[in-house]
Structure 1
Amino acid sequence: MFALDVAAHTGPWRLRHPGEKALLALGLLGCAVILPTWPGAALAGSAAALLLVGPARVPVPVLLRAARMPALFIATSALPLLVSVHSPTRLGWNPAGVGVAVTTTGRAAAALLCLLLFSATTPLSDVLPRLVRLGVPSAVTEVAALTYRMLFLLVDSVRAVREAQAARLGYRTWRTTYRSLAGQAGAIFVRAFTRARRLEEGLAVRGYTGSLAVQVEVRRLSPPFVVATVALLTAIVTLTVLSGGRWR
């Protein structure tokens, strides 16, 4: 299981209703996307970060590990905004792009923190069954659940195959490394295909009719949590409006 999933299953917000956490995280996400970068998106991102390391008690190393690749994508996406193309073979510095790059990077970073606030506190197994009650087709949620489950199986398979290859000195040289990677891809494909076929046969034997019956644990909404969330979102919007942030 990934570290982010472990944090979601073991954190203090594990037993809270997913709707509460969705209201908080998606509300902050809306502020980060709609409000001006300064101070609206900055306030939303800061609030999400403080909630993650504070009440949610998500370990900082887990957050850094989960945000590593998205942050790299954000940084590389902002670099083209800093250059201008004068000719097919000539690039130059674009002073006007600095502000756009900073605005885009800040808004994207704030949105990333808001999404991490939800994913690091809410297991997917709590969300998918409740989406059916909101009108999402059961086929969509079941495919998502099966894909989520198969992802862990594939990761375990990759780890097992890689350890077996390393024990046989499969990564000693560049030539053996390329050969091992090619064999690893073939082995993982065969394992994934076999597991998928066995899963299909198992569902057919158990009389699968198009939907899986899942028992959903009853959880009550916490009025204080909802009120505090609305107050936080209102405060962010109010401070942004009073500060006269530029809407761009």
Structure 2
Amino acid sequence: MFALDVAAHTGPWRSRHPAEKALLSLGLLVCAVALPTWPGALLSGGAAALLLAGPARVPPGVVLRAAWVPLLFVATSTVPLLVSMPAPTRLAVDPAGLPLAAQTAGRSVAALTCLLLFSATTPLSDVLPRLHRLGIPPAVTEVAALTYRMLFLLVDSVRAVRQAQAARLGFRTWRTAYRSLAGQAGAVFVRAFSRARRLEEGLAVRGYTGSLAVQVEEYRVSVPFVVATTALLGTIITVTIRVATPW
């Protein structure tokens, strides 16, 4: 399993209802996106980061490992906002782009932290079965669940093939490394196709009719948690409006 999934399955918020965590995380996400960057996005992202490190007890290494690719994308996306082209062949630093780049980066990082708060505390297996009650078609959630399952099998296949190639000195030189990577791609594709076909045959033998019946563990909604979440969101909105509104 990925480190983020391990944290979601073993964390102290594992027994909380997914709706509680969705209200908290998505509420902070809406505040980070809809409110002004200062101080709305800062307060929302800061609250999500404190909850991750505090009550949720998600290790910082897990958060950084899951966030470094999106953070790299944010960094590379904000760089063009800092420059301009006064001439077709000349680039110059645009002083007016610095505030826009800072706002874009701050809002993006805050939204990412809010999403990590939900994904690091809520297993996907708790979310997908409950989406039926929201009117999501069963075919959509089942395809998502099967894709999620096949992703782990694909990673295991890649790891097994790579270990076998490394044991045979398949990465000794650049030439052998390119050859091993090509063979790895072919072997993983064949394995994934074979597993998908066996999965389809297994569902057909078991009388699959278009819906997979799974047992969903029931959790009780915590009223104090919902009240505290509402108070936190209300405080962020109130403080942001008072700071951003000129008197």
Q: Which residue of 2 aligns with 1:115?
A: 115
Q: Deviations over 1:63-106 (max 9, x none)?
A: 11011101000000001101112333321111111010000000
CA distance in 2, matches of 1:87, 1:178: 42
Corresponding position: 1:233 with 2:233: yes
- Partner residue in 2 for 1:12: 12
- Counterpart secondary structure, 2:84: strand
Partners of 2:171 and 2:127 in 1: how far apart? Answer: 41
Secondary structure of the residue aligned to 1:92 is strand
What are structure 1's unaligned runs of at least 5 residues?
A: none
Q: Deviations over 1:104-159 (max 9, x none)?
A: 00000000000000000000000000001111000000000000000000000000
Match of 2:63 in 1: 63
Q: Alpha-carbon deviation of 1:245? A: 5.7
Matches within 5 A, 1:213-232: 213-232=213-232
State the secondary structure of the residue aligned to 2:149: helix
> In structure 2, what is the Cα distance between the partners aligned to 1:177 and 1:184?
10
Gaps in structure 2 of 5+ consecutive residues:
none
Q: TM-score, normalised by structure 1?
A: 0.98
- TM-score normalized by structure 2? 0.98
Cα distance in 2 for partners of 1:30, 1:225 equals 19
**Superimposed CA distance per residue, residues 182-237 of structure 1 (whole angstroms, 9 cap, x where no aligned partner):** 11100110000000000000000000000000111111100000000000000000
Q: Structure 2: which amino acid aligns with 1:181?
A: L
8 Å Cα contact 1:39-1:245 kept in structure 2: no
Q: Aligned ranges for residues 132-143 of structure 1 at < 5 Å?
A: 132-143=132-143
Report the count of equivalent residues. Answer: 246
User: Which amino acid in 1 is paired with 2:22?
Assistant: A
Q: Secondary structure at the match of 1:136?
A: coil
Contact 1:13–1:56 (CA under 8 A) maintained in structure 2: yes
What residue in structure 1 maps to residue 210 of structure 2? Answer: 210
Alignment partners' CA distance in 1, 2:243 and 2:174: 58
Q: Is the 8 A contact 2:38 2:244 kept in 1?
A: no
Per the TM alignment, residue 242 of structure 1 is displaced from its structure 2 partner at its CA by: 1.0
**Which residue identity lines up with residue 9 of structure 2 in the other structure?**
H
Q: 3-state DSSP class of the match of 1:86?
A: strand
Superposition pairs for residues 171-190 of structure 1, below 5 Å?
Answer: 171-190=171-190
Contact 1:42–1:110 (Cα < 8 Å) also in 2: yes
Letter in 2 for 1:56: A
Q: Percent identity?
A: 77
Contact 1:38 1:245 in 2 (8 A): no
2:2 maps to 2
Give the aligned partner of residue 49 of structure 1. 49
2:30 corresponds to 1:30: yes
Distance 2:114 2:23 in 1: 11
CA distance in 2, matches of 1:170, 1:88: 47
Kept after mapping to 2: 8 A contact 1:32/1:40: yes
Whether the aligned pair in 2 keeps the contact of 1:28 and 1:48 (CA below 8 Å) is yes
The one-letter code of the counterpart of 1:139 is: A
**DSSP-derived class of the 2:229 partner:** helix
CA shift digits 1:8-67 (9 cap, x unpaired): 000000010000000000000000000011100000000000000000000010011011
RMSD between aligned alpha carbons?
0.9
2:192 maps to what in 1?
192
Counterpart contact for 2:171–2:177, Cα < 8 Å:
yes
Query: Secondary structure of 1:85's partner?
Result: strand
Q: Is the 8 A contact 1:36 1:245 kept in 2?
A: no
